[in-house]
Amino acid sequence: MTTREEPPAAPLGPRTPPTLRPQPAGPQQRRTTRRPADGAVVDCAVYVGGERQEAVAPDDALRVAEERDGFVWLGLYSPSEEELGAIAARYDLHPLAVEDAVFAHQRPKLEPYDDALFMVLKTATYVEHEELTATSEVVDTGEVMIFLGPRYVITVRHGEHGGLTGLRQRLEEQRDLLCLGPSAVLYAVADLVVDTFVEVAAAVEEDVEELEASVFSPERTDDIGRLYQLKRELMALRRAVSPLEVPLQKLAERPVDVVPDAMRSYFRDVLDHAIRVRDQVGGLDELLTSILQASLARTTMADNEDMRKISAYAGIIAVPTAIAGIYGMNFEHMPELEWRYGYPLVLLVILGAIVLLYRGFKRNGWL
């Protein structure tokens, strides 16, 4: 069995309750996931007493786990319907859950099936960009489905990010946590997903601050397109974060057959982080709405200012136009028509009227 390798991450110090924090990753690390050449299986291992056993084939893993009183962690990446169907028959997975895992595009949820659980988690990553434009992709989302039974945990990933190999390596260094059974893997995956949301929200916040500074800068800028695009991208993150509270609350507060009571405090910790990032994302969305309204108001004010200037100059030009039009009608009996200084006088009247109008418009802020 060949496995896909990712750079190992250094273990973190313990906390109460312990957690598995994601290690920083650049954009290339986030997007290097590829489907294994030999099928959908990324890794398969049996854990007994919190320790990984010798290599075992996926077909024999469940039998070995039952014989040794351990559990199987089978990792899959974008399996086909036939591939997941064969695994479902071996592990007795519910057909409705299998259908959801194959076709993906599910919202975060937790569903019980007899003595097993099926959980869907949306994953997210921040897409690096030199400059935010009206077409920039900011948040890329994927999915992780988890089948949890008494002797197995099966993770099914969709999307070009959210690899779990590094998580598996860090989790294997925490034997006490793995001793709690398959639900420890469910906790570790949920914790990783939520902590990644925190990183993505922090990166999006920097984009929001950049747009805020641009909207309120002295220079005239057109940021409406960029604001609307960022708001759409933030909506994708919000759809991934907001529904996660209910499944985590069930795991943290309600008794579940395949989740030991000792795991509830772990899930409460993840729930706390999920609520905080949900509030952060909601706050960013509200701030973007306010900035968008401010940008629209500023654009309207700028348009009104332009219209006032145009109207003021049109009023100034109307004076010489009217006078020239009157004297261009060539009537014989017109004021000062035969006077030697009539033409200079008309020019002075025009100039005086223009100066008076300009000063009036200037004093009223139209120019």
Instruction: Please state the domain extents for the chain.
Output: 27-297, 303-363
Q: For residues 44-55, give the mean pLDDT.
A: 90
CA distance 316 to 41: 79
CA distance 129 to 27: 10
Q: Which CATH number fits domain 27-297: 3.30.230.10, 3.30.460.20, 3.40.50.920, 3.10.20.310?
A: 3.30.460.20
Q: Does the pLDDT at position 275 exceed 90? A: yes
Pick from 201-210, 311-320, 331-340: least confident? 331-340
The predicted pLDDT at position 17 comes to 43
Q: What is the 3 state secondary structure string of 240-275? A: HHHHHHHHHHHHHHCCECCECHHHHHHHHHHHHHHH
The SS3 of residue 296 is helix
Query: Would you state the structure tokens that stand for residue 139, as one six-digit string?
Result: 């948040």
Query: Would you state the structure tokens that stand for residue 30, as one six-digit string?
Result: 């986030």
The predicted pLDDT at position 337 comes to 64
User: Which has more pLDDT, 158 or 344?
Assistant: 158
Q: What is the pTM of this model?
A: 0.74
Q: Where are the beta strands (DSSP E) in the chain?
A: 41-48, 51-52, 71-77, 109-113, 116-126, 139-148, 152-158
**Residue 111: pLDDT band with limits 50, 70, 90:** very high
Pick from 157-161, 241-245, 321-325: least confident? 321-325
27-297 shares its CATH topology with 303-363 = no
Q: Which of 151-155, 219-223, 344-348 has the highest mean pLDDT?
A: 151-155
Characterize 278-290 residue by residue with b for buried, 16 or more Cβ atoms within 10 angstroms of its Cβ, and e for exposed. Answer: bebbeebbebbee
Q: Does the pLDDT at position 102 exceed 70? A: yes
Query: Considering only CA atoms, which of 316, 301, 299 is closest in space to residue 350?
Result: 316
Q: Name 173's Cβ contacts closer than 8 Å, sequence gap at least 6.
A: 11
Contact between residue 221 and residue 214 where contact means Cβ atoms under 8 Å apart: yes
CA distance 186 to 40: 20
β-pairing, 152-158 vs 71-77, is parallel
The SS3 of residue 252 is helix
Q: Does the pLDDT at position 6 exceed 50? A: no
Q: Does the pLDDT at position 330 exceed 70? A: no
CA distance 80 to 326: 86
Ramachandran sector of residue 202 (left: φ over 0; alpha: ψ -120 to 50; beta: rest):
alpha
The SS3 of residue 44 is strand
User: For residue 91, how many C-alpha atoms fall within 13 Å in the half-sphere facing its CB?
Assistant: 33
The predicted pLDDT at position 361 comes to 73
The predicted pLDDT at position 71 comes to 94
Q: Does the pLDDT at position 12 exceed 50? A: no
The SS3 of residue 163 is coil
**Residue 248: pLDDT band with limits 50, 70, 90:** very high
Query: Would you state the structure tokens that stand for residue 136, as one six-digit string?
Result: 């920039």
Contact between residue 160 and residue 124 where contact means Cβ atoms under 8 Å apart: no
The predicted pLDDT at position 162 comes to 63
Q: Does the pLDDT at position 297 exceed 60? A: yes
**Residue 329: pLDDT band with limits 50, 70, 90:** low
Contact between residue 3 and residue 56 where contact means Cβ atoms under 8 Å apart: no
Pick from 54-58, 79-83, 184-188, 333-337: least confident? 333-337
Tell me the chain's radius of gyration from C-alpha atoms.
Answer: 34
**Residue 28: pLDDT band with limits 50, 70, 90:** very low
Taking the alpha carbons at both ends of the chain, their separation in whole angstroms is: 77
Q: Does the pLDDT at position 207 exceed 60? A: yes
Pick from 134-138, 248-252, 349-353: least confident? 349-353
Q: Does the pLDDT at position 38 exceed 80? A: no
The predicted pLDDT at position 24 comes to 41
Mean pLDDT estimate for the chain: 82
* CATH code assigned to 303-363: 1.20.58
